[in-house]
Each structure stands twice: as structure tokens, then as C-alpha cells.
Structure 1
Amino acid sequence: MTTIAVVSAGLSEPSSTRLLADRLGAATAEALSADGPVELRTVELRPLAHEITDAMLTRFAATVLAAATATVVEADAVVFVTPVFTAGMSGLAKSFLDVLDKDALTDMPVLLGATGGTARHSLALEHGIRPVFAYLRAAVVPTGVFAATEDWGSDDAGTLDARIRRAGADLAWMTRASRRQPQQADALPEVVDFASLLGGMQR
């Protein structure tokens, strides 16, 4: 069984970021289907925003966040899609990467996607997002996919479809060629609130 973690850092609901993430995951699964079963495991960061912030401040991950990080670390490949703000990934997306262990994505096949209001933001994928994953030593596929608002439902939607299929095929190839060994996320202690700690103390 090949597992693909599909990470969406979209901030709205519904989200074009989640839509792009789902389509990239599906394209990858289709490209890998001849090799055997493929499981897509979605990690939506928006509901984890508070836990991610707490983990940055305390260096402890609560239960739901720990499960999400394990989904990413233990996958065979990752699709990572973020909205673009100020020529880079969203703060939520970057914060999630910051709470991962520094070696968690080493040699991990990763497909990058991004969304933005206009094509003006498209270079952020290469200049603001890809370098972060290079620093984490991930095996990032050559084809990234940026989708502007105008790409959805326009006459050029077929062009976006073609880019998505190409990117999925790239990630499938990278997954087959991966030298990454099966990983297991380190068990992270669960956050216990201060009031509970005080409740167990004797006066």
C-alpha cells in the first residue's frame, strides 16, 4: 500500500487550496494505480491552527496535531499546497513545517502547489516555497502547480488539468525512485493544561 499525505493550508472554507490539493493527490494516485493500492490521507491545517501555535510556543504537540504530523512523516509521499501571501507560503503552512522535526522530510518525495488571486504570485512557488523544502532536504519534484483565481472554470481550465496530471506523474515517478526508508513519527508528549496539573497537587 502506497500512502500519500495531502496537506492543505487553505484558510477559507470552501477553499481553492484544498481543491487543488485534492486534485493533485488524485492525479498522483491515478499515476501510481498500476503499482498497487494507493491511499490518500488528507491533513487540513486550518482546524489545527491553535494547536500549531501552542506547539510553537511549548514545543509539545497535542493529540490531534501529533496525529497529523505522524500522517505526514509516515507517508510515502506528500502533496503540500498553500495559499500565497506576500510572495511566500502562508504563516499557517510555515508554522506547521516549523513544528516538524528538522529531519522529518529528509528524502521525502514532495509535490508543491500554491494558490493566489492573480498569476502575479506564481513565482512565489519557486522563489518563496521551494527553497524551504530544499532546506528540509525533501525530494521535491520538478513540476509545481500554481493556480490563480482565473484558472478555475475558465477556457484555460484544460491547461490547469494538464499541469496537474503532469505534476501527479512526476510525484509518482519520484515515489517509485525514492530512497527514503519507512519512518515512524516520534511519540510526542500530549499537552496537559495547567489547571489539570494544579488539580493533582496537594496543598
Structure 2
Amino acid sequence: MHGMIGRESSPPRPIVRRHSDWTLKEHEVVVSFWPDIEEIEKRLPHRTKAAIRGFAGKCNLRKQIHSWTDEQHSILRQRVRHGVPTAEIAKELGLTRLQVVNRMQYSRLTYPRRPPNPTGNELIDSIRKRAFECNVSMKELDEACKSGAQFRRYSASRRIHIKHVVRATKVLDGDLVIRWSDQ
């Protein structure tokens, strides 16, 4: 043979045989403990999670599909209206947080707008409060004032330029007044 001069043939590789056939006992374990994959994996340590899920799919074992009742939907609407967090709603309804979030998206339910959190700066707080009352978002205010993200990302460690404050008062139909305290 060409190219084999001076070389020994490579050592034979071990034959790996995969036992993909499921026994009746394994089948009984999967059926009896489904959908608790962790428990099935403990009882069948030689099977991976992917193999267990694949076998369960062949056995027509699927996650139970939840159908929303009118009562659950009305509870969801009320809780969202009152601003209850999704984790608490899910716990109350006995569902996962993801199921609640998906239903909110499907039903186009959104939480009511909340007023901005106080920053500790009286001037910035009054501007943000006025923007909230005028139904202007911080992003829209920043765009109107051409201030980058001064109002959106304000923190006590950042300084805000006075020109942005003046522009914000004009955008929000206000007057900038300075009052001096008499000493």
C-alpha cells in the first residue's frame, strides 16, 4: 500500500455499543414518575435527561397543558390592575410565573404606570413628577431636551447640566424660578 512504509497500523479502537433499548422496568419508572425528571434520573442513573425526555415523548407523556378559566383570568386582571407582582399572582393561582407572564402578554395586560422614584434632588424630582403628570416618558423628555439620558439615568453621583433643566421646564410648560432664602 502507498504511504504505509515504516508505519504500523493504528491500534484498534474499542467498540462502543449503545444500549438504546428501554427495558420494561425502565418504562415503568418513567411512566410512574413522569414529569419529575429529577426523580427518574435518580432511579435511572445511566440515562440522561435528554434520553428520558425523548423516551417520554415516544410514550406520549407530555407536560399537562393548562387551560385558563374565566375565574382565573378575572383574578389575573384584578391583580395586575392593583400592581401585584407576577410571582405572587402565580403562587395564588398555583401556576408558574412564566404561565402568568405569557397570559398577560396574550391578553395584553400591563401594569399601571407608576410615578418615578424620588432621587433626592428636589429639582430633578419635580421635573420627573411633572413629566409623569403630563404623560411624558423620561425617554421622550430626554429626546425633547436633547440631553442624552440625563433624566432617564439620573443618580446623585451624576451632575446634570443647567441647560437641560431649562429646556425641560420649557418642554413641560413650566417656569424656572429661583428663590433666595433671606439670612
State TM-score, norm by structure 1. Answer: 0.19
State TM-score, norm by structure 2. Answer: 0.20
Decide which structure has greater strand share.
1
Tell me which of the two structures has the higher relative contact order, counting C-alpha pairs closer than 8 angstroms and 6 or more residues apart: 1
